[in-house]
Each structure stands twice: as C-alpha cells, then as structure tokens.
C-alpha cells in the first residue's frame, strides 16, 4: 500500500514527551499531520505534548510502550495501526545517555543505553519496513557523537555510531519498497539531554557562539520527510551549527 506524501499524514514520534521528540511532534503537527505520541514513563509530559500538538493545528493520540522490549515495540505498532490505519512517517527519537569510562561501566548501564538507542531503533525499523508502503519515511535520531569520540560517553557514542550504520543498511533494504530512511545527527540542543554545566563549553564550540534548539532539529526532520527530498535516503545529516567541525581531542579535557 502506498502512503501519502502530502498532509495530513500519520507520524509516529517515539520519545515524544520532551526535548527533540516534543519539538518534532509539534513541528509535524503544524503541517496538519496526525501524531502518534509515544512515551515510556512520563505520561504527564506526553499529555502536554499532545496538547501542544492540538494547539499547533494537528491531532493525535498517546501510546505507551517500553521500547527496550521487542514485544512492546510490536504492540506499539499494532496499536498505532489499529487506531489510524497506517503510518506514513516514523521518527525513531527515543534514546538514553549515560556517563562512564570503559573500565568502570556496569553491565546495567551498557544494556540500558544499547537497548534503547540500538535495539529499539533496530526493531522499530523492522516493524516500519514490514508495514509501510511506497512513500514511507523513516528518520532515526543519531548524534554528532556517533562520529566524535568522547571517552566518558563511550557507550552512548558507540550506540549512536551503530544508529548511523543501521540507517545506511536499512535504506538499502527499505528502498526496494519505496521507503526512505535517513538520520539526523544533532549536536547539543536545549531542551534536551545536555548537562547544564556543559552548556558554556558547547556554546564555545560553535562559531555562532550559542547552543542549538530542539526546534531546529525538528525542522530538519519535517524537511527530510517532505516530498521535496524524495531522492534523499541513506544519509546522516548533521545539525550542530558547525560546532564539532574539525574538533580534536576529548570534551573532558
């Protein structure tokens, strides 16, 4: 089944309760789309996102799922398809971060980050590619740290590097069904997962001398999903205000 490439479309945003997810849900809603607002634990924040979606001119519904479990991912897709009949755009945004060097990383931290950043993205891609048709769009949320090594964020960096390769492989497979797969690779943004004490350092990295905003990543996602970018697939697009361009060394130094 082909999917619509013009508004209104059904857009599934995972991790839509805050930060980039919230901004993306609202940005897609501003185009008149229907938003499947996914959350894991923060129901109150998810409800706030849904209210913002409706205020922006869109419509939608809430969907709860623990994306670290494959059975929950499949249930999420079942419920979204049951409610709306289709999904036209998927933004795999849900993620986790953590701080640890290799030598002191506990198994639990490793598993929690890899499960949500890699496993969840992989099996969401699986469900989306199986179910979506011609014209479908999948966007994965990567990070500039997928290519820039940061010793004390080793698990996070590794997970986002995996997301980049997943995107490129998935684009080959999904392209045979007419589905485009790309990734955004944001630098630090607010609101997001940036520790407050790191904000001045990140502001200093960019020639614009500021930190990015979640809405700027969201705008890129909307652009990627548009029919104007129908020949763009298998790409990882950095959005960081040239902040990491040519950067050497470690951010902990």
Residue spans of the domains in the chain: they are 10-239
The pLDDT of residue 22 = 98
Alpha carbons 213 and 205: distance in angstroms, whole number: 15
Going by pLDDT thresholds of 50, 70 and 90, the confidence category of residue 7 is low
Calculate what percentage of the chain has a pLDDT beyond 90: 90
Share of the chain above pLDDT 70, in %: 97
pLDDT at 81: 98
Catalytic residue among 77, 81, 110, 156: 156
DSSP the chain: ----SSSS-EEEETTTTSHHHHHHHHHHHTTT-EEEEEESS-HHHHHHHHHHHHHTT-EEEEEE--TTSHHHHHHHHHHHHHHHS--SEEEE-------B-GGG--HHHHHHHHIIIIIHHHHHHHHHHHH--TT-EEEEE--GGGTS--TTBHHHHHHHHHHHHHHHHHHHHHHTTT-EEEEEEE-SEETTT--GGGHHHHHHHSTT-S-EEHHHHHHHHHHHHSGGGTT--S-EEEESTTSSTT--S-TT-
For residue range 188-242, what is the model confidence (pLDDT) as tens digits? 999 988 888 889 999 999 999 999 999 999 999 999 999 999 999 999 999 999 9
**CB neighbours (10 Å) of residue 201?**
13
Shortest CA distance to 191 belongs to which of 13, 17, 12? 17
Please identify which residue in the block is written with the tokens 């670290």.
68
Beta bridge partners of 182: 139
- Per-residue pLDDT, 251: 80
> 187 pLDDT band (50/70/90 cuts)?
very high
Q: Is the pLDDT of residue 5 over 70?
A: no
Mean pLDDT score of the chain: 95
Tens digit of each residue's pLDDT (9 = 90 or more) over 43-89: 999 999 999 999 999 999 999 999 999 999 999 999 999 999 999 99
Q: Residue 253: is its pLDDT beyond 80?
A: no
- The CATH number for 10-239, chosen from 3.30.230.70, 3.40.630.30, 3.90.226.10, 3.40.50.720, is 3.40.50.720
Write down the pLDDT at residue 183: 98
Q: Is the dihedral of CA 57, 59, 65, 71 positive or negative?
A: negative
pLDDT average, residue stretch 117-141:
98
Q: Encoding tokens for residue 195?
A: 């520790």
Is 156 considered catalytic here? Answer: yes
In the predicted model, what is the mean pLDDT of residues 3-12? 74
pLDDT reported for residue 6: 52
Nearest to 90 by CA among 19, 16, 177, 193: 16
């Amino acid at each position: 089944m082909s999917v619509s490439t013009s508004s209104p479309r059904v857009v599934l945003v995972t991790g839509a309760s805050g930060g980039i997810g919230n901004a993306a849900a609202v940005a897609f809603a501003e185009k008149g789309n229907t938003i499947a607002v996914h959350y894991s634990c923060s129901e109150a924040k998810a409800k706030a996102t849904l209210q913002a979606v409706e205020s922006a001119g869109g419509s939608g519904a809430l969907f709860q799922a623990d994306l670290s479990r494959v059975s929950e991912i499949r249930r999420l897709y079942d419920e979204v398809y049951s409610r709306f009949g289709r999904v036209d755009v998927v933004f795999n945004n849900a993620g986790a971060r953590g701080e640890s060097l290799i030598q002191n990383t506990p198994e639990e931290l490793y598993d929690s980050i890899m499960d949500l950043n890699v496993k969840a993205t992989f099996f969401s891609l699986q469900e989306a590619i199986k179910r979506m048709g011609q014209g479908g769009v999948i966007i994965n949320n990567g990070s500039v740290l997928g290519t820039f090594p940061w010793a004390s964020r080793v698990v996070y960096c590794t997970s986002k590097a995996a997301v980049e390769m997943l995107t490129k492989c998935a684009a080959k497979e999904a392209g045979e069904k007419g589905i485009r797969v790309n990734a955004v690779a944001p630098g630090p943004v607010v609101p997001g997962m940036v520790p407050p004490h790191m904000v001045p350092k990140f502001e200093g990295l960019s020639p614009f001398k500021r930190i990015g905003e979640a809405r700027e990543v969201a705008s890129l996602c909307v652009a990627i999903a548009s029919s104007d970018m129908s020949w763009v697939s298998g790409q990882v697009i950095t959005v960081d205000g040239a902040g990491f361009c040519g950067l050497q060394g470690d951010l902990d130094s």
